[in-house]
Every structure is written in C-alpha cells, then in structure tokens.
Structure 1
Amino acid sequence: MAWVYSSSIILQELSVENEKDERFPYPLCEKFSISLFSPVSWEIIPNTKMDLDDWEHVTCLKNVSLAYEGTRSGLKGYISLGTNYNYSEDITSRGRIWLFDIIDVVPEPGQPLTKNRIKMVYNKDQKGPITAITHVVGFLVSAVGQKIYIWQLKDNDLVGVAFIDTQVYIHQLLSVKSLILVADVYKSIVLLRFQEEYRTLSLVSRDFRATEVYAIDFLIDNTTLGFLVSDREKNIILYMYQPKSLESFGGQKLIRKADIHLGQHINSFFRINCRTTDIEPEKKHLAGADKRHVTVFATLDGAMGNLLPVPEKTYRRLLMLQNLLVTYIPHIAGLNPKGFRLYHSSTRLLGNPVRSIIDGELVWLYLTLSATERTEIAKKIGTKVNELLEDLMDIEMLTSNF
C-alpha cells in the first residue's frame, strides 16, 4: 500500500509540471562556439564562427607549432583546442581535439576583415577529456584523462607516438626544447623529457610534496632554468633540476630553491625579455641582462607583479637592506613583513622555508626615507647609498616593459 501511495504522488506531481505557462523559467544550457577576431579592431571576422556540440566545454586553447615540410623552419603554427563533454557522473567523460589553420583568402567586396578564414584540419573524439595541450619539437602534447600523449600530425590526422601515465588531473602543460613541465591539481609538478629519436616519453624528476598547483611557468637566467609554481596557500615556489645535488636522490626529486608568501592566488604567469635598450655600456654587472627573462604574474584579486633573477652581489645587498628595514621603519598596523612573507602551509612539512626571494614592496620603501636615514642604513649594511639606489634603479629599468 505504501508503494502504491508514493506512486500516486509522483503521478500528481507530473500532472502539475505539465501545466506550466509561458513564464516558467526553464533551466539553461551553456552553448560554446569558436570565433576569429581581428587583432586590429577586435571585431569578429565574418563567417569564422563554429558552434560546438551541446554539453561540450572548452578546457584548453593554445597556439602550437607542429612539424610541416612546406616551410623553411619545418614548423607551422596551428590553433589547438581541447574540449570535454560534461554529462552526469553516470556517463564516462569524453573529449575532442581540434586543430585549426588560419588561411589567407581574397576578401569579399566591402569586407576587408574576410581576408582570413579558419580551416579545420583535425577533429576527432578521444578516450577521455582533453584538459591541457602544448607542443614539443614539432609534436603535439595533450593530457587525455590520466595519460599524456605525444601526437604527430600526418595527412591531417594525429598519429600517437608516445604516452605516459599521470597522477590525478593535469591542468597545465609547458614545454621548452625537449622538456615538458606538467602541473597536477593535487600532486605538484612533474618534469618529463621527450626523446624524438627513440620516440619515448620518460619521467625526469618530480616534486614529492602534495601541492595544489594553480599556475606554472619557467624562470630563465642565462643558462639556468627554474620552475615557478603558485599554489592554493597563496605561495610562490621556485624549483630547479640539479641531479648532482645529494638532496635530489640522483635527480629524481626537484630541489626547492626559493619560496615566498604572496597573500593572493596567482592564476597566470607569462615571460618577457628584460628591457635592455637603455643599458649603458659601462654597467658591466648588467652584461647578461639580454639573456634574462622577467616572469610576470597576475592574481585573482586583480594585482600584477613580476619576478626577476638578480646577480649574487645585488641579492646580498638587498637582503641586508630588507632585514634592516624590517625593524627600522614602522609598518602598517604593526604587522611584521618578515613573518608574512614566510611560506604558508596548512599541513606540517618536514623542512624549513627556503626564502631567497627579496620582498620588493619592502625594499622600495628605502626610497621614501630621508637622506639622513638612507645614509645611516647604508653605513649599517657596509655599503653606499648610491650603490643601493643603483640596484633599485637597474631592477626598475629591466622590468619596465609596459
């Protein structure tokens, strides 16, 4: 009797639902599309819009350089797109890889923007969602489910070359030469290497700590390559691959070289060359600035900042200046900047913070002091006021790209 009673209630509810009027708010379904914009006027180029399927979401989009015999460099640029079909938890997640080529055509009369068209080169379903995408030495790299695949473009078709298993969820891929930096949403970063002659994708090194990664990028100082990571705890961490170090266990572990607490979530990095147009020839300490990159970051709070590698002498002077300014000048609300910039972690870690990053906001307060206070601080450090001012001006000049 109870079962029949409950069924009658369901039938009554269904009969009420069928009596909806035209003002009833039905659920909305997001619909995505691909469009080509003009970089001059930022207008949509006509006849370049492509609609995606229902429930298909775009997860990654990147301009990739793939092997192509028709160019002098042997590479050709494509627009690569990764998607995912967001259904319920009862249906296995699937995705698609799209490859587009931008071609030049004769524009239509009165429509100069139609000189460019978007041509679909490849579009096929994959065994899992496409969560990240990049390129390495002319091959396409994609994170498909819990695997990373290397693809080769042949006759408008992607041919699998190599693959490797991953941890939980790959949300960002970066490459430099034959190295691939992988960001896992829970398992920190992994460094992979692709050997083209052997067609193998192997694990080089990784971070053993569980870190919820928000964004990654490279830090380049001449021939030194570092790996920047921003995490959920609002920290910036710098890793390096040093196989000769005892702490790396023969290169299996990435060495943490620097860390700092920012207080904001960083969700984007990008690199740009140092500004070297105004460097004077007599400044020998800036001789290698043309091979140094500024890594700019953007936060979810709307702030922007940058990270710049500096010579050892400059770092030592600014470090002593920073340590002195912590106790010399009053701070906002009496807060201690030294304690705030320490690496924050909600779990207890076996190891001390590395620091090794100068707090630019604190060091720049030196310029707001009087001439007497500047001279007094410089004497305590054992340097001159002009040397400190020159260091700050050099950093400002190298990073003033915008």
Structure 2
Amino acid sequence: FVCHDDRENLQFLQYAPNDVAARGGNKLVCRADFHLGTQTTALQSHFCRSSLLVNSATPTSTLAALKQQDPLFGRIDDDQRFAVHFGSTDGGLASLVPLSEQAYWRLTALQSVMSNALDSNCALSYRAWRLYRRSARRGGCRSNGRMKGVIDGDLVAKFADLSLADQEDLSSAIGSTVELIMDNILDIRCSGMVI
C-alpha cells in the first residue's frame, strides 16, 4: 500500500502477518517512507514500460531482442510491473517505480555519493530534506525508526547532466560504469511514463 499524509510524506505499507511488527496480522508493516515536499492529490497505478520497447521504431523486433537479452523476461511477470503516478497541489506530476534489487542498490550507492559530492540547492541537505516528517501531536510519533528505502529520482537524474569526467568519477566510486547507471536511469524514466 502507498499512503500519503498531510505532512507531505509517502509511506509504503505491507501486510505481513508473519512479521513480529504486524502483531499477528493486525497491523500493516512500514517498509519505506519518504518526504515528498508537496501535497499529493491522487495516486493512480499504471503498467511499467521497458526502455527497450519505448525507444524502438519497431516494437515487435525489440520485444524479440528483449526476450533474447533477458531470459527471465515474461517468466516472472517482470513485464507486468505496476508503478504509481500522482499529481501534486503545486502542479507537479511524479511516479513511484519498482526496481530490481541490483538497480536499487546501485542507485542507492549513487544517491549517497552524489549527495556528498554535489552542491545542494539553497544549502539544503538532500538527505535531511527527504526524511520522513513525524507528527508533533501527542501519540502521533511512530515508535520505530525511519525506514527510508526510496531513491530520490530528482537527485539521481542529475547524473545525466554532469560532465563525462564527473560521471566516470562517481560511477567508479560505487564500482559501476557510466553506461550501466545511464541504463538504470533510462529504465526508470520509461517505467514512469504514463502517456
């Protein structure tokens, strides 16, 4: 479940009856949280699109190439992933896109390195800005710690705007390549396409 609140946060909750925090299935377990910084108006799901299919002139031949490149394509419902898009009160449109575990850890490392290496806008800390905002009301504070677990797409997308030398430095700092990171960013952008 994806929930938004009046403090401009998003929470990702899961029904996990075997988890100790769920108290036998009576509570939903928080798996991730994220401060969005704006009020959302509506959350809507959509199918994710593959970057190979979106950027192709002939989708039929690209689908065959995709199946040849990725032997698990279509077998584990990877082509049937859902994303969530939403509008905000300030006129923004954004998406929440699921990632493979490898891409998630790669982009998490990149986000961490970029938040330290790049100058932030208006001297705001990238990390502090995206931390879950708790309620100041009595009883509104969660007992468990912040879960994080969401990649800041705005920060990671800045990687494409950097010079090639900076891209190579950042990618080598996390043990990856520029091409692999750019492929992950392209896949995120294509998965978030709604229209």
Identify which range, 384-393 or 341-350, moves more after superposition.
341-350
Provide Cα deviations, 1:350-400, integer angstroms capped at 9, x if missing partner.
221101000000000111111111111111101111111111111122222
Q: Out of 64, 67, 91, which is 1:281 matched to?
A: 67
Task: Give the letter aligned to residue 244 of structure 1.
Answer: N
So what's the TM-score if we normalise by structure 1?
0.42
How well do the aligned residues superpose, as a CA RMSD in angstroms?
A: 1.6
> Taking structure 1 as reference, are residues 364 and 286 closer, same or farther at Cα in structure 2, changes over 3 Å only?
farther
Q: 2:190 corresponds to which residue?
A: 397
Aligned 8 A contact 1:275 1:401 in 2: no
Q: What is the rounded CA distance, in whole Å, between the counterparts of 2:87 and 2:71 in structure 1?
A: 29
Q: Out of 352, 368, 375, which is 2:161 matched to?
A: 368
Return the structure number with greater relative CO, CA threshold 8 A, min gap 6.
2
Q: 1:381 corresponds to which residue?
A: 174
Provide Cα deviations, 1:203-233, integer angstroms capped at 9, x if missing partner.
xxxxxxxxxxxxxxxxxxxxxxxx0100000
Q: 1:358 corresponds to which residue?
A: 151
Aligned 8 A contact 1:230 1:267 in 2: no
Q: What is the rounded CA distance, in whole Å, between the counterparts of 1:363 and 1:286 in structure 2?
A: 27
Aligned 8 A contact 2:115 2:127 in 1: yes
| Runs (4+) off by over 3 Å | 276-279
The alignment of Structure 1 onto Structure 2 pairs a total of residues equal to 176
1:249 aligns with 2:42: no
Query: Whose helix proportion is higher, 1 or 2?
Result: 2
SS of the residue corresponding to residue 400 of structure 1 reads coil
> Taking structure 1 as reference, are residues 272 and 286 closer, same or farther at Cα in structure 2, changes over 3 Å only?
farther
Query: Whose strand proportion is higher, 1 or 2?
Result: 1
Aligned 8 A contact 1:274 1:289 in 2: no
Q: Out of 300, 304, 308, which is 2:89 matched to?
A: 300
Q: What is the rounded CA distance, in whole Å, between the counterparts of 1:323 and 1:352 in structure 2?
A: 19
Provide Cα deviations, 1:232-274, integer angstroms capped at 9, x if missing partner.
0000000000111111111111000011001111120111111
Higher-Rg structure is: 1
Aligned counterparts, 1:120-139, within 5 A: none
Q: What is the rounded CA distance, in whole Å, between the counterparts of 1:321 and 1:362 in structure 2?
A: 9
Structure 2: unaligned runs, 5 residues or longer: 55-62
So what's the TM-score if we normalise by structure 2?
0.85
Q: What is the rounded CA distance, in whole Å, between the counterparts of 1:366 and 1:286 in structure 2?
A: 29
Q: What is the rounded CA distance, in whole Å, between the counterparts of 1:303 and 1:275 in structure 2?
A: 21
Q: What is the rounded CA distance, in whole Å, between the counterparts of 1:282 and 1:380 in structure 2?
A: 31
Q: What is the rounded CA distance, in whole Å, between the counterparts of 1:330 and 1:229 in structure 2?
A: 31
Aligned 8 A contact 2:41 2:89 in 1: yes
Q: Percent identity?
A: 27
